[in-house]
Amino acid sequence: MFDFLKKKLNEVVKKVTDKVAPKEKEKKAKPKKEKETFTSKIVKAFTEINVSSEKVDEIFQEIEIDLLEADVAVEAIDKIKEDLKKEIVGKSIKKSELEKQIRNVFKKTLNEMLDVPKIDLMKKLEKRPTLFVFLGFNGSGKTTTMAKIAYWLQSKKLSCVFAAGDSFRAASIEQLEEHGKKLNVNVIKHQYGADPAAVIFDAVKYAQAKKIDVVLADTAGRTHTNKNLMDQLEKIVRVNKPDLKILVIDSMTGNDIINQCRMFDQAVGVDALVLTKTDVSNKGGSILSAAYVLKKPILFLGTGQSYKDLHEYDPREIAEKLI
Ligand SMILES: Nc1nc2c(ncn2[C@@H]2O[C@H](COP(=O)(O)OP(=O)(O)O)[C@@H](O)[C@H]2O)c(=O)[nH]1
Ligand SMILES: [Mg+2]
């Protein structure tokens, strides 16, 4: 997971270290006159450096591209830079400790960036029935994530029903029924073209009657320009008052993640995120951007195509992996 981002971040740590305190051999133009004595070595090891704010700006101008390549948003890069300044500018730092110190600053910054508000899912799930509605662009992984969450709920001994709220895209109902069959979960559906608000309403009634714990409602994928689909989403929310509106985002989307989330948030309000395809995304900076810029709870990461490939979001674990 996030190998490319990891590689870039570690390269950046090395580059910053080298630029703050260039290695002796790089500076050395003429051959050494004296043999290094034990004392001179010690002195060198203890040589302290002082970094200016301008120096950090200059360094970041050069290395910014590395982070942009890994899909880290500009806002996130600025935070990394400012945090680094706070820790190293105006202080005397031993050369020998510089890299370690930079690494620690990065780790702390990543931890802060990845730290998003939390939702106590088990507490949410105490309500009967709980309604989760899944939102997102076409192909982001809504239906697959719903099925994975059904599997996860079953592992917690909770029952669920699917609402086929995507009555728009061809074969979407059949796709959900496939999952229903494999997971032994009923699907409440209407015809294609039906009003999804009514389908979800029926699924909630069904869950109440059958004492089913959770309703997982699919919706049609939409884009910035689907005005009527956006209106449909508003109706779904107005009629059914979901307990959680979960935005499912493809982590390969790059920094459009931020626009996507803002669009759904403005239209209906986003309570939490799931980031899918973290197993195939070769960049991963999008997760930093999503966490830091959006500050929405992240419930899960999608890590593959089978039902068990759903990983509970753990910021510390990710920060440890990255640096
Ligand atoms: N590798 C990988 N593929 C995923 C993941 N989540 C979804 N997919 C795939 O993405 C494609 C679109 O998923 P789907 O659930 O149909 O998207 P929807 O249009 O939002 O409902 C399917 O081929 C899924 O198998 C994931 O976490 N990892
Ligand atoms: Mg779908």
pLDDT for position 30:
52
Range of the domain at 267: 121-322
Phi, psi at residue 2, to the nearest 5°?
Answer: 60, 35
Say if ligand 1 is within 6 A of residue 308 CB: no
The residue to mutate among 1, 144, 300, having the most atoms of ligand 1 within 8 angstroms of its beta carbon, is 144
The number of domains in the chain is 2
Say if ligand 1 is within 6 A of residue 280 CB: yes
- Residue 70 and residue 43 share a domain: yes
The series of mean pLDDT values per 10 residues for the chain, 323 residues long, is 85 88 60 64 70 90 88 90 91 85 91 95 96 95 97 98 92 96 97 93 98 97 74 94 96 85 92 94 83 94 96 91 85
- Residue 143 and residue 104 share a domain: no
Atom of ligand 1 nearest to the CA of 140: 20
Spatial CB neighbours of 77, under 8 Å, sequence gap ≥ 6: 60, 64, 67, 68
Say if ligand 1 is within 6 A of residue 284 CB: no
Closest CA to 130 of 120, 140, 139: 120
> What does the alpha-carbon distance between residue 6 and residue 2 come to, in Å, rounded to a whole number?
6
Say if ligand 1 is within 6 A of residue 92 CB: no
> What is the whole-number distance in angstroms between the Cα of residue 220 and the centre of ligand 1?
14
- Residue 203 and residue 82 share a domain: no
Spatial CB neighbours of 39, under 8 Å, sequence gap ≥ 6: none
Say if ligand 1 is within 6 A of residue 172 CB: no
pLDDT for position 23:
72
- Residue 103 and residue 24 share a domain: yes
- Residue 280 and residue 131 share a domain: yes
Q: Other C-beta atoms within 10 Å of 314: how many? A: 13
Identify residue 257 by its one-letter amino acid code: I
Pairing state between β 160-163 and 187-188 = parallel
- Residue 177 and residue 56 share a domain: no
Q: Which residue's CA is the nearest one to ligand 1's atom 13?
A: 141
> What is the whole-number distance in angstroms between the Cα of residue 198 and the centre of ligand 2?
18
- Residue 176 and residue 297 share a domain: yes
CATH number at residue 168: 3.40.50.300
Atom of ligand 1 nearest to the CA of 175: 16
Closest CA to 12 of 92, 113, 103: 103
- Residue 256 and residue 136 share a domain: yes
- Residue 126 and residue 102 share a domain: no
- Residue 157 and residue 37 share a domain: no
Q: What is the pLDDT of residues 41-89, one digit of tens each?
A: 666 656 788 888 998 999 999 888 888 888 888 888 999 999 999 988 9
- Residue 196 and residue 86 share a domain: no
